[in-house]
Structure formats: C-alpha cells, structure tokens
A = this chain, B = another copy of it.
Amino acid sequence: MYVVKSSLADADLKVVSEALQGALMDLVDLALTGKQIHWNIVGPRFRSIHLQLDEVVASARTHSDTVAERASALGVPPDGRAATVASGSGIKTAPAGWIKDTDAVSAMVDALGSVITRMRERVTATETPDPVSQDLLIAITADLEKHHWMFQAENA
C-alpha cells in the first residue's frame, strides 16, 4: 500500500525506526503508569505527588506524539496499541491497588530510570543514521532526566 518516501537509506531507517518504536512503547506506558499511580496513591504526600504525576503524564503524552509522528514522517507506521505497549514496554508493571506515597515515588524513580537508560542507547544509536531523530530523542531524555531527579529528590 501507501509508502512515504523516507529521507533515509534503508539500513539507517531500520536503526532509527527501531529506536522510535521502542521509545513510543516506553512513553505510552510511562503515561499509563503515571495515571495509574495518580489514581491509586495514598498517604500524607497524596496531593503533592498526585499533581506531580500529572506533569509526568503530560510530558509523556507529548513525547509519545513526537516520536510516533517522527516515525510516520520517516515512512514507518508507529504502533502504540494497548497490547503492543503491554508486551513491548521496558517499564516494570505498576502494582495493582492502592499504593503508599513513598512506594509511588520509588516506582516512578524506577520507571523513569529504566526508560532513560534505553533512551540514552537510542541517542547513541541514531547519531549517525539520523541526527534529526537523535535531536528529538536528546530533548526527550533531558526532560525525563529532570523528572527523574525530582522524584529522587522527593524520596531522599
């Protein structure tokens, strides 16, 4: 069927599209995880973390849109469906049920930490094949590392 003519050579495109699809699954799952904890958190820091989580969700949603549309722009259809995300995300599944605020913060430190590790690998992988995609991934990494710091500082 339809093919967007890509700016990249095939080998480059393969590397870049894997990076983008991986980022997409991580970021959609980060948004779902953030909302899950936003709804289930309890404890004396409820309101503060509840609000902080919505800022992560907003970031993750914006970033997932960026990487998905970047894939489309390179001629590769992105996949952000629930089952794809459930199986392909690198984030550990959040626990079911109420979650204490301290545990909520730890869960976010872990989730962000694991996404960041993979994001940095994607930054390295895309440098040569597509500096344009790399630039988007760098900006997303910077933002995630800022969120990561804030949750670490919160649990210090």
Please name all residues of chain B whose beta carbon is closer than 8 Å to the beta carbon of A1 when the two chains form the complex.
42, 97-98, 100, 156
- Are B7 and A120 closer than 8 Å at their CB atoms? yes
The distance from the CB of A149 to the nearest CB of chain B, in whole angstroms, is 4
- Are A152 and B5 closer than 8 Å at their CB atoms? yes
Known: A47-B49, A96-B79. A153 touches B42 (CB 8 A): yes
- Pick from B45, B51, B85, B149: contact of A72, CB below 8 A: B149
Q: Is A60 an interface residue (CB 8 A)?
A: no
The distance from the CB of A143 to the nearest CB of chain B, in whole angstroms, is 10
A residues in contact (CB < 8 Å) with B: 1-2, 4-5, 7, 28-29, 32-33, 35-36, 39-52, 64-65, 68-75, 77-83, 85-86, 89, 93-94, 96-98, 100, 102, 113, 116-117, 120, 123, 127, 131-132, 135-136, 138-139, 141-142, 145-146, 148-150, 152-156
A-B contact pairs, 9 of them (CB 8 A): A2-B42, A39-B77, A42-B156, A44-B45, A46-B150, A47-B154, A70-B146, A73-B145, A136-B142
